[in-house]
Structure 1
Amino acid sequence: MANDLEALEDWAGVLLNKLEPAARSKLTRSLAQKLRRSQQQRVKQQRNPDGSAYAARKPRDLKGKKGRIKRKAKMFQKLPKASYLKAKGDGQSITVGLTGRVARIARVHQYGLKDRAEADAPEVRYEQREVLGFAEDDLNFIRYELMNYLYKNS
């Protein structure tokens, strides 16, 4: 995946350097917003970039709880909101990332790190769930959008 990204950067870099700075900024902002949308859809579907489903949650020991316990809630329900998942494009780069406290939580899941669910809870290793990442479709999408933009504006 890293080689594909580097190859795309080498290929697109030459073409993008020929654009005016304002046009390049406009293009990168547009690409960043569209990439954010694809990341939002993938997180809502509970999928890793390779298409596999997120690892299931561990069952919780709810001491003393009786009655119906809702366990159907999906992970990361609020994560895809635009207030947390930010997209930025300037003339030099495109960035799609998380902000605030949710960025720390997402990082724990992204890399499968240890963390505490609550202040007094024991430290637990979380399963790796790739919250952000490039799928092959994302790279193809970027290539297509660049070619389309350059064709229309040449």
Structure 2
Amino acid sequence: MSDNLHALETWAGALLAKLQPAQRRAINHKVAIDLRRSQAQRIKAQQGPDGTAYPARKRRKELKGKNGRIKRQKAAMFSKLRTAKFLKTHADAGQLTVRFVGKVTRVARVHQEGLADKVAKKGPNYTYPARPLLGLGDADKTLIRELLLHHLEKL
């Protein structure tokens, strides 16, 4: 994956180097916003960058009521993390970033890398399975290429 990313960076860098800094910033901003949207949709679909499904949540015993009935609906994981409040973009003439900000960065990092963390404030530790939230898959690389070509055609 890093070889493909390096090739994309080399290809896009040569094209973008010919533009004015204000034009590069505008293109990077548009690409960052579309990339954030793509990442949020992928997180909503509960898939990693390579298209594999996230590992299922571990069932909690207290969610069962009488006769095995579930007390509440199963909520999708990371529903608040994928909002624009926590998933921010930054773009300038040299680079663009899509990242988590605020207190959710710790939660995102634990799930991204599959680290151990407390389940509750005074609860037990649990090693979470890796659920990559951010990353570039083939669809994202194609999206970036198409966006860059589209913006360069307009110039």
Q: TM-score, normalised by structure 1?
A: 0.93
Paired residue for 1:128?
A: 130
Paired residue for 2:75?
A: 73
Paired residue for 1:88?
A: 90
Q: CA deviation at 1:71?
A: 5.0
Deviations 1:2-44 (A, max 9, x none): 1111111111111111100110100000100000000111111
Give 1:8's aligned amino acid: L
Counterpart pick for 1:103 among 92, 102, 105: 105
Distance 2:76 2:146 in 1: 32
Paired residue for 2:121?
A: 119
Counterpart pick for 2:143 among 132, 135, 141: 141
Paired residue for 2:4?
A: 4
Percent pairwise identity? 45
- In the comparison of the two structures, how many residue pairs are matched? 152
Distance 2:112 2:73 in 1: 22
Q: CA deviation at 1:62?
A: 2.1
Alignment partner of 2:97: what SS?
strand
Distance 2:81 2:122 in 1: 24
Distance 1:149 1:11 in 2: 15
Question: 5+ unaligned residues in a row in structure 2: which ranges?
Answer: none
Distance 1:90 1:56 in 2: 38
Q: CA deviation at 1:151?
A: 2.1
Question: 5+ unaligned residues in a row in structure 1: which ranges?
Answer: none
Distance 1:52 1:71 in 2: 24
Give 1:48's aligned amino acid: G
Say what the alpha-carbon RMSD is for the aligned residues: 1.4
Give 2:61's aligned amino acid: D
Q: CA deviation at 1:69?
A: 2.0
Give 2:72's aligned amino acid: K
